[in-house]
């Protein structure tokens, strides 16, 4: 233990006599309680950060450096900057807040019922928009050598974009049910993967052109199979990745209902729009 800090203080540290800090030090130095213990190294001084005081690199200048510490330190390794402690406290506070917020959102049946209702409404709206986009493309003249988005080619919207929307929504619902703090972002990412596979199906026809019609059709079908496989894969990934999974009072009926309602309402929206806006 380092003696009272003064210019004539002895800089030798007895590695067998390292004791906890005094009450005086505890009042002035932040408590570090993450399970890290101070270790004294025999006959060797390592650079030790002293916050705004400085760095002691060897035994010879330690005595001069300790004079600049006003209130005394029992062991150098317990001194850290106040900014580091603030960051640690903020991280723990945010982590705890997010976890408890996710737990409350999952354990609130009323909020889950509203979420399921919102999913059903969004499914209907998405279905109507997809059908409107299909009508617009079918009446357009977007075409090229070996491919066309007009006429029947516009069906890529409900059969391509539709599964992408379902894949992203299923992933988001499952991750929310498991209390993942980034369930919305990851759900959007899952939908983007579905959109990329849909684009790959179309680009295959464009890339191979009329000369490679058979190869282009094969590649387009391959991306189509990947897209519908992603429907299942996205749900499996969302159910297996790391998540808090807080305890629930019972089975997640409303989350399961939201998963089932989404494709049903999406198709219903398309059918309703088709009745109002025939192709």
What's the structural domain count of the chain? 2
Quick check: is 88 in a domain? no
Model confidence at 122, in pLDDT bands (50, 70, 90)? Answer: very high
Please list the residues that pair with 143 across neighbouring strands: 148
- Cα distances from 236 to residues 112, 167, 262, in angstroms, run 21, 11, 17
Q: What is the pLDDT of residue 77?
A: 45
91 found inside a domain: no
Same domain? For 70 and 116 the reply is no
Q: What is the pLDDT of residues 180-220, one digit of tens each?
A: 999 999 999 999 999 999 999 999 989 998 888 899 999 99
68 and 190 both lie in a single domain:
no
Mean pLDDT across 133-145: 90
Please check the confidence at residue 247 and state whether its pLDDT lies above 80. Answer: yes
- Beta carbons within 8 Å of 115's beta carbon, 6+ residues apart: 176, 254, 255, 258
Looking at the fold, whether 46 and 150 belong to one and the same domain comes out as no
Query: Are the C-beta atoms of 176 and 255 separated by less than 8 Å?
Result: yes
Tell me whether residue 270 is in a domain. yes
The residue among 237 and 97 whose pLDDT is bigger is 237
Last residue of a domain, one of 21, 50, 80: 80
CA-based torsion, 226, 176, 267, 157: positive or negative? negative
Whether 111 shows a pLDDT value over 90: the answer reads no
Q: Is 90 exceeded by the pLDDT of residue 116? A: yes
Q: What is the pLDDT of residue 212?
A: 87
Tell me, yes or no, whether 261 and 127 share the same domain.
yes
- Give the model's pLDDT for residue 183: 96
Q: Are 175 and 238 in contact (CB under 8 A)?
A: yes
Q: Quick check: is 87 in a domain?
A: no
- The range of the structural domain enclosing residue 125 comes to 98-276
Q: Has residue 86 been placed in a domain?
A: no
Percentage of the chain lying above the pLDDT 90 cut:
47
Predicted local distance difference test score (pLDDT) of residue 30: 45
Mean pLDDT of 98-125: 72
- Residue 49 and residue 180 in one domain: no
Last residue of a domain, which of 80, 107, 133? 80
**Same domain, yes or no, for 140 and 110?**
yes
Based on the fold, state whether residues 109 and 236 are members of the same structural domain.
yes
The pair of structure tokens assigned to 4 is 């009272």
- Is the model's pLDDT at 7 over the cut of 60? no
Same domain, 22 and 158: no
Residue 264 · residue 123 · CB < 8 Å: yes
Summarize the confidence of residues 87-101 as an average pLDDT: 57
Asked, for residue 74, whether it belongs to a domain, the answer is yes
Mean pLDDT of 261-272: 96
Count of other CB atoms within 10 angstroms of residue 62: 19
22 & 149 share domain: no
In a domain, 171, yes or no: yes
150 and 270 in one domain?
yes
Quote the mean pLDDT of the chain. Answer: 76
What is the tens place of the pLDDT at every residue in 27-79? 544 444 444 444 444 444 444 444 444 444 444 454 554 455 444 444 444 44
Indicate the burial class of 135 (C-beta count within 10 angstroms; 0-12, 13-18, 19 or more).
middle
For residue 83, what pLDDT is reported?
Answer: 54
Residue 46 forms part of a structural domain: yes
Q: Does residue 109 carry a pLDDT above 70?
A: no
> Do 263 and 152 fall within a single domain?
yes
Give yes or no: residues 157 and 260 share one domain. yes
């Amino acid at each position: 233990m380092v003696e009272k800090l003064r210019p004539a203080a002895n800089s030798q540290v007895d590695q067998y006599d390292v004791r906890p800090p005094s009450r005086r030090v505890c009042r002035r130095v932040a408590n570090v309680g993450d399970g890290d213990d101070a270790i004294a190294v025999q006959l060797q001084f390592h650079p030790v950060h002293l916050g705004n005081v400085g760095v002691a690199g060897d035994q010879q200048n330690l005595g001069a450096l300790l004079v600049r510490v006003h209130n005394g330190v029992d062991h150098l390794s317990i001194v850290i900057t106040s900014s580091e402690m603030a960051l640690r406290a903020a991280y723990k506070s945010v982590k705890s807040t997010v976890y408890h917020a996710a737990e409350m959102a999952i354990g609130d049946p009323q909020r889950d019922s509203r979420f399921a209702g919102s999913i059903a409404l969004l499914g209907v709206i998405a279905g109507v928009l997809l059908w409107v986009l299909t009508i617009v493309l079918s009446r357009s003249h977007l075409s090229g050598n070996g491919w066309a988005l007009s006429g029947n080619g516009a069906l890529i919207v409900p059969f391509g974009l539709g599964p992408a929307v379902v894949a992203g929504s299923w992933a988001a619902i499952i991750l929310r049910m498991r209390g993942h703090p980034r369930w919305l972002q990851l759900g959007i990412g899952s939908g983007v993967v579905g959109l990329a596979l849909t684009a790959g199906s179309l680009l295959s026809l464009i890339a191979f052109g009329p000369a490679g019609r058979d190869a282009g059709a094969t590649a387009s079908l391959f991306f189509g199979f990947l897209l519908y496989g992603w429907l299942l894969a996205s749900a499996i990934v969302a159910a297996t990745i790391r998540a808090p999974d807080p305890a629930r009072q019972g089975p997640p009926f409303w989350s399961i209902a939201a998963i089932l309602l989404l494709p049903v309402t999406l198709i219903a929206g398309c059918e309703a729009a088709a009745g109002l806006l025939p192709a």
